[in-house]
Structure 1
Amino acid sequence: MPPSQLHPHDTCKVLVLGAGNFGSCLADHLGDSEHEVWLWSRSKSQVDFFNKHHRNPECLKDHVFPSTIIAVGPDLPDAELIKEMDVLLFAIPTEGVRETLTILRPRLNLEKLPLLIFVNKGIEIATNALTLEIIADTCGADVAKVATFISGPSFAKEIVRRQPTSVSVASLTPERAERASQVFHQPWFRCYTGRDPIGMELAGAVKNVYAIASGVAEGLGFENNTRAMLITRCLSEMTRIGTAYGASPLTFLSLAGVGDLFLTCSSPTSRNYTVGHRLGKGEKLDDIIRTLGSVAEGVTTTKALRKIIDDLGVEAPIATAVYGVLYEGKDLQETVKDLMSLPPLPELDLPAQNEGGPVRQLMEKLGLEYGAMH
């Protein structure tokens, strides 16, 4: 049925694109919520193993998935399967979103568009584009306006254990955010809706940069005072960047903002935190990346964030310091000394929104008023 006709207890046909940790855990959650779920993977061996054993040989290896979930791939599903879906859930890395949407676009029925939900967090390296802009480029403004985003403090291994979890759900079309919330909402998984997907995306991307800083501090031997100081100042900094970008400052106080920042900056489970911790212990970045075993998005996002900071002309000393360590060979101890030697500053300050900044430009591209998001 079309998303506009969904009700809280309706079951849906859901195609999850991406069989990594997060895509798999959300497929598990939705399958356990009595939705019909298909899970797409690029790996034929992963698909075959999943369908035979109801386990993912690559991620969450000890977890047994509902037998009702069907793995498909390695080719992207054809138009026949796509047209049956009520929900398309994109859980692929941001760098793969443009290619995937370009292939899928001709297979979408624009007259009966499924609910499009995106859970990736990142900034496209070549363009500095957030996912909403990528959607607009590949599928058009009408599709981008109804796209929905989910973000928040949500480690996959805890979701599959049904640990109480809450997330933010946002769309430029509030009805779509509400529908997505209805699809996901369960007693163990609460959803809160909002109207600032761009701010939510930005928060989800840049918090990975700050997780590296937090890991560095831990690796250098600093303790609780330092962690609390650092997370609080990172929140202030990302709010300042987001406000200059044109997002709502309130977004950074949400689950997708401070919630995700706190989780990522305080847990060794975070890949980005792990990168920072190993840097703090004296390892070289190239060796860390080579042996990490998975992608740490914050390493590449640091480059994109540096360009955003420069373009906006906003002060962001922590993010700038992370860039200096990763890409300019700055010494960690000297970097810490420089940060702590900055002159006293007002604690709470927000820049002017630069007449809406990049957000206003994107809203104009979509044919929407800038104020509609706030």
Structure 2
Amino acid sequence: MDQTKVAVLGAGSWGTALANVAAENGHAVKIWGHRVATVDEINTQHTNKEYLGDRVLQASIQATTDLVTAIEGAEIILSVVPTKATREVANLLNQALTQLQQKSIVVAATKGLEPSTYKFASQMIAEEIDASSLAGIAVIAGPSHAEGVIKHDPTTVTAVSEDLVVAERIQRVMSNSTFRVYTNDDIVGAELGGALKNVIAIAAGALQSLEYDANAKAALFTRGLNEMAQLGKAYGANPMTFMGLAGVGDLFATATSTHSRNFRAGMQLGAGLSKEEVIEHMGMVIEGISTTKVVHDLAQAKQVEMPISNAVYQVIYEGRDPKIAIRELMDRPLHHEGK
């Protein structure tokens, strides 16, 4: 495979893991981060201990705090910053691409929705970056904890773009014997799935904390997936996307693993902590907390019934006791399973 220049924006766990995959595949990789200490550690120690412990990264990875240096010559740019920072970083990226007179594929690898606009990461990128600087927009979605990727657990994701040529380019660059990339063209479904599963994962963490067993978890997964698909359908997504990696696959990984911040946040909510206490204890961005409010508003706007997501909203934003919320879910009027 020919060497491709890849830039990764964001030096957290997922950004670093993706950078390592690309470097393992023989590509020239640069990571952009805003913390000097992290950048220095990656360059000199080839580790990112705050996020990935003692795992040793590919020595060829270069890190920098200068955005222009990071993206110069990059054919593919992975945006792996928190959702709330995506628009700001995309704006900075637009300036850098314009300065360099460069055209790149920009790939969103963050799962969530912008709280103020309800926009996906790909939409923010399209709005902030001039079309003349874009060789394509894509999304990476699917069940992929960074902790598993860095230790070479077999991982499958999907590269999603309305232009399948773009998706196939990412597929070739990122695929190897432990990181398999599929392609898809349903960007709405993929991004909705990646956001909505975080809400269900919070509920799963609460069930775990409350010591509910397999019956309750199976009910949550099945009915939660139905909610995801129903909202996706209302926004024009392909329902089959929710049966794939960006839907049920990502939901399973996020709602069953302590690697998931959303699952851990749900455990703390189930133990009686408030939203503010959970955020303070976690010390990291919990995408599902802000996404829960967005999903609540989207469901109301599209008149889609999402009782589980609404119960999570009540627990987080209205202080509802999780046990009472569960009982109310079980006492709802009976109806056909397809609804």
TM-score band w.r.t. shorter chain: over 0.9
Asked if 1 retains the 8 angstrom alpha-carbon contact of 2:156 and 2:181, the reply is yes
Per the alignment, residue 166 of structure 1 pairs with 156
TM-score normalized with structure 1 length: 0.86
Alpha-carbon shift at residue 120 of structure 1 (Å): 0.5
**1: CA distance between counterparts of 2:115 and 2:203?**
20
Match of residue 39, structure 1, among 31, 36, 42: 31
Q: Give the aligned residue type for 1:86.
A: E
Per the alignment, residue 62 of structure 2 pairs with 70
Per the alignment, residue 75 of structure 2 pairs with 86
**1: CA distance between counterparts of 2:174 and 2:135?**
20
Q: Give the aligned residue type for 1:61.
A: G
Superposition pairs for residues 3-152 of structure 1, below 5 Å? Answer: 9-73=1-65, 75-78=66-69, 82-108=71-97, 113-140=103-130, 146-152=136-142
**Long gaps (5+) in structure 1:** 1-8, 350-374
SS at match of 2:30: strand
Match of residue 176, structure 1, among 162, 166, 176: 166
Percent pairwise identity: 39
Alpha-carbon shift at residue 112 of structure 1 (Å): 5.7
Q: Structure 1 runs of 4+ off > 4 angstroms?
A: 109-112, 140-145
The C-alpha deviation readout for 1:235-263, integer Å capped at 9, x for no partner, is 00110011011111111111011100011
**1: CA distance between counterparts of 2:130 and 2:7?**
21
Per the alignment, residue 361 of structure 1 pairs with none
Per the alignment, residue 322 of structure 1 pairs with 312
Asked if 1 retains the 8 angstrom alpha-carbon contact of 2:101 and 2:133, the reply is no
Asked if 1 retains the 8 angstrom alpha-carbon contact of 2:109 and 2:141, the reply is yes
**2: CA distance between counterparts of 1:32 and 1:190?**
13
Pair 1:50–1:132, CA change in 2 (3 A): closer
Asked if 1 retains the 8 angstrom alpha-carbon contact of 2:6 and 2:75, the reply is yes
Alpha-carbon shift at residue 144 of structure 1 (Å): 7.2
Q: Give the aligned residue type for 1:77.
A: V
**2: CA distance between counterparts of 1:346 and 1:44?**
56
Pair 1:145–1:201, CA change in 2 (3 A): farther
Alpha-carbon shift at residue 65 of structure 1 (Å): 0.9
**2: CA distance between counterparts of 1:124 and 1:282?**
27
Q: Give the aligned residue type for 1:84.
A: G
SS at match of 1:23: helix
Q: Give the aligned residue type for 1:233.
A: R
**Long gaps (5+) in structure 2:** none
Q: Give the aligned residue type for 1:41.
A: G
**1: CA distance between counterparts of 2:59 and 2:289?**
37
**2: CA distance between counterparts of 1:69 and 1:11?**
14
Alpha-carbon shift at residue 289 of structure 1 (Å): 1.4
**1: CA distance between counterparts of 2:31 and 2:101?**
24
Per the alignment, residue 272 of structure 2 pairs with 282
Per the alignment, residue 296 of structure 1 pairs with 286
The C-alpha deviation readout for 1:12-55, integer Å capped at 9, x for no partner, is 11111100000001111111111111111101111112211111
Two-structure CA RMSD over aligned residues (Å): 1.7
SS at match of 1:169: strand
Alpha-carbon shift at residue 323 of structure 1 (Å): 0.5
Asked if 2 retains the 8 angstrom alpha-carbon contact of 1:135 and 1:144, the reply is no
SS at match of 2:67: coil
Alpha-carbon shift at residue 303 of structure 1 (Å): 0.8
Alpha-carbon shift at residue 77 of structure 1 (Å): 2.3
